[in-house]
Amino acid sequence: MEKFYIATAIDYVNGPPHIGHAYEKIASDVIFRHYEQRGIPAFFLTGSDEHGIKIQKAASEKGISPQDFCDDIAGKFIKEWKLFDIKYSRYIRTTEAEHKRVVRHIFKTLIERGDIYKASYNGLYCTGCECFLSERELDDDGNCPSHKTKPQEVREENYFFRLSKYKERIQEHIKANPGFILPDYRANEVLNQLKDAEDISVSRSRNSVSWGIPVPDDDSQVIYVWIDALSNYLTGIGYLSNNELYEKFWPTDCHMIGKDILKFHSIYWIAILMAMEIPLPKTIVAHGWITIDQSKMSKSLGNVIAPGDILGAFGLEVPDALRYFLMTTTTFGNDGNYSDEEFKNKVNADLANNLGNLLNRSLSMLVKYFDGNVSPEAVTVAENNNLAALSDKTKREVIENMDKYQPYQAAESIINLVDSANRYINEQAPWTLAKNEETQLQCAQVLYNVLEALRYVSVLIYPYIPNIAQNMREQLGFDDRVSDFMLSDLQWGGLKPGRIASKDSVKPVFLRLDSELAGDKKKNAN
């Protein structure tokens, strides 16, 4: 792989960030950081979707201009992603002048090519989805199945995109490219939706929606949010503005989006790119949803959780524990659940007991028995060393799983390595070996093996828990940044002889969470 371009969905700014938005951004961040560790030039785009009725309404309810409203909420997203160490390369906002130029260019080109045409329209519009729904898509009460609200009947003269022209090509593309849509079973869902795909309305009358990009040469119409929103993936990578960047990174390698917006990405977006004769993305990954205490998050249930509030409630200074929890709560693609209990139990078990304790007790033994020194004789070689073989296997598994966009499985492999190192230290019992002169060397070697496996763990787990990983690396006697360490340099024997630890340097990397702290965290994210 020569380059890696990952893009998340861009979030509506009609409300502040919640834990579902964070889930997607964290998953993308983990994958992005992993590719950086492989020395692959990588670009990570995220941002906000700022036009449309939803936002227009939210702003007018607050009595402020839509732009001021967007500035305020986009600022909240940016702040939240900083708190969560989301290392994006660019944060795009659809209200940027550069983006508006791209959208108008696309729209104009498609009109010129005859792929966008004007016709009158009669349809049912759901403001929640910002899209038209067909009668078939409604539930038994005639409501939008996602928002449980009656769609609005709209009769307008609109511009239409000739989606029907591309549906066969899209079908062929999906069939010819396994892995284009992940998880695999979602590809069938898309193929089914394609069967009844018709031309789609891509504009709205300015009388019904004023907050949007005007149609080129027709001010009475505003470009429909999805064409506007989807084009962010081009603007964000320099299309029409930074050719060098665009040439280097296009097409998108991974679109990381929620299952609810798969249709827009795997049908509409692909058709638009086909019509524009722009190369298609490599993979579209549809992740599942995060529920709260097994219920869907919703304003009406009052269970919308702001991710930062969880950190505050548990007294966490860094986001690592929540990042780790979200990435390991479910297989990628399935829905996952957040509850205080599950969060606390999982991170206490994996990060405090399993990982943190192992590092802490092996370093403490190194200090106690060898004054913190790794002696040259203790350095073990990889051959005939089970822990070394397992560490290398874990590295391979992490790479394989990340290539399949499975951060859950990759994390599972890393935790397996920690489990094995724990079993190994218990079996070898260095505390007994330390008692006799003749088994001193063996004791030093056992500690070496465990610490070396933990050095692997610190590098492999870094994309998930960057702060804890850095702390682990420092405690293992390194003064460099774990983020700069390349996976290709991760070979057995990297732990260097010499004094790496002292009584003062050994500290827990993660303190157990106390449930009493959780308090009143579920402030409505609004």
Tell me which residue of 259, 243, 251 sits closest to 281, measured CA to CA.
Answer: 251
Instruction: For residue 521, indicate whether it is catalytic.
Output: no
Nearest CB to ligand MSP, comparing residues 54 and 455: 54
As a whole number of angstroms, the distance between CA 464 and CA 412 comes to 12
Q: What is the C-alpha to C-alpha distance for residues 213 and 204, in angstroms, rounded to an integer? A: 10
What does the block give as tokens for 332?
């990628």
Which residue's CB is nearer to ligand MSP, number 110 or number 359?
Answer: 110
Q: Based on CB atoms, which residue is closest to ligand MSP, 289 or 424?
A: 289
| DSSP helix/strand/coil, 231 | coil
Residues 6+ apart with CB under 8 A from 139: 145, 148
Separation in Å, CA 426 to CA 40, 103, 446:
39, 61, 10
Q: Which of helix, strand or coil describes residue 383?
A: coil
d(C-alpha 362, C-alpha 52), whole Å: 57
Catalytic residue selected from 70, 131, 144, 443: 144
Task: Please state the closest distance from residue 289 (CB atom) to ligand MSP, in A.
Answer: 4
Pair type for strands 203-205 and 218-223: antiparallel
Select which of 147, 173, 259, 282 is catalytic: 147
SS3 158: strand
**Shortest approach of ligand MSP to residue 354 CB, angstroms?**
27
443 is catalytic: no
Query: Residue 115, class by beta-carbon neighbours within 10 Å (0-12 exposed, 13-18 middle, 19+ buried)?
Result: buried
Asked if 46 and 10 touch (Cβ cutoff 8 Å), the reply is yes
Which residue in the list 70, 129, 131, 254 is annotated as catalytic? 129
Nearer to ligand MSP by Cβ, of 223 and 352: the residue is: 223
Is 287 among the residues known to form the active site?
no
Using DSSP, how many helices (H) and how many strands (E) does the chain show?
Answer: 20, 18
If the CB atoms of residues 252 and 391 are measured against ligand MSP, the closer one turns out to be 252
In the complex, minimum distance from the CB of residue 290 to ligand MSP, in angstroms, rounded to a whole number? 4
The CA–CA distances, whole Å, from 184 to 187, 270, 404, 407 equal: 6, 17, 11, 16
- Least Å distance, CB 296 to ligand MSP, is 7
Instruction: Provide, rounded to whole angstroms, the least separation between the CB of residue 459 and ligand MSP.
Output: 28
Nearest residue (CB) to ligand MSP, 238 versus 258: 258
Name the closest residue to ligand MSP (Cβ). Answer: 258
CA–CA distances in Å: residue 522 to residues 126, 364, 390: 28, 39, 41
Distance from C-alpha of 141 to C-alpha of 143, rounded to nearest angstrom: 5
Most distant pair of Cα atoms in the chain: their distance: 91
Cβ proximity to ligand MSP, 200 vs 229, nearer residue: 229
Catalytic member of 126, 131, 254, 443:
126
The residue among 10 and 222 lying less far from ligand MSP, judged by its C-beta, is 10
- Helix, strand, coil proportions of the chain in percent (round to 5)? 50, 15, 35
Question: Which C-beta is closer to ligand MSP: that of 37 or that of 232?
Answer: 232
| Distance of alpha carbon 342 from alpha carbon 293, whole angstroms | 9
How far is 22 from 309, CA to CA, in rounded Å? 12
DSSP 211: S
Task: Measure the CA–CA gap between 412 and 353, rounded to whole angstroms.
Answer: 16
> What backbone torsions phi and psi does residue 402 show, to the nearest 5 degrees?
-65, -35
**Minimum Å distance from CB 405 to ligand MSP?**
14
Which residue among 18, 34, 99, 263 is the active-site one? 18
Q: How far is the CB of 338 from ligand MSP (least distance, A)?
A: 9
Told to judge if 34 belongs to the known catalytic residues of this protein, a careful annotator would answer no
Q: Which residues pair with 155 in a beta bridge?
A: 122
Residue 434 beta carbon to ligand MSP: minimum distance, rounded to whole angstroms? 49
- Contact, 29 vs 72, CB < 8 A? no
Q: Point out the catalytic residue in the list 21, 99, 167, 522.
A: 21
Q: Report the residue number, 10 or 465, with the smaller CB distance to ligand MSP.
A: 10
Q: How far is the CB of 127 from ligand MSP (least distance, A)?
A: 12
299 assigned to active site:
yes
Q: In angstroms, what is the minimal distance from the CB of 286 to ligand MSP? A: 8
Contact partners, residue 109, CB within 8 Å, separation at least 6:
276
Q: Which residues bind ligand MSP (CB under 6 A)?
A: 9-12, 20-21, 23-24, 49, 229-230, 232, 257-258, 260-261, 289-290, 297
Catalytic residues: 18, 21, 126, 129, 144, 147, 296, 299
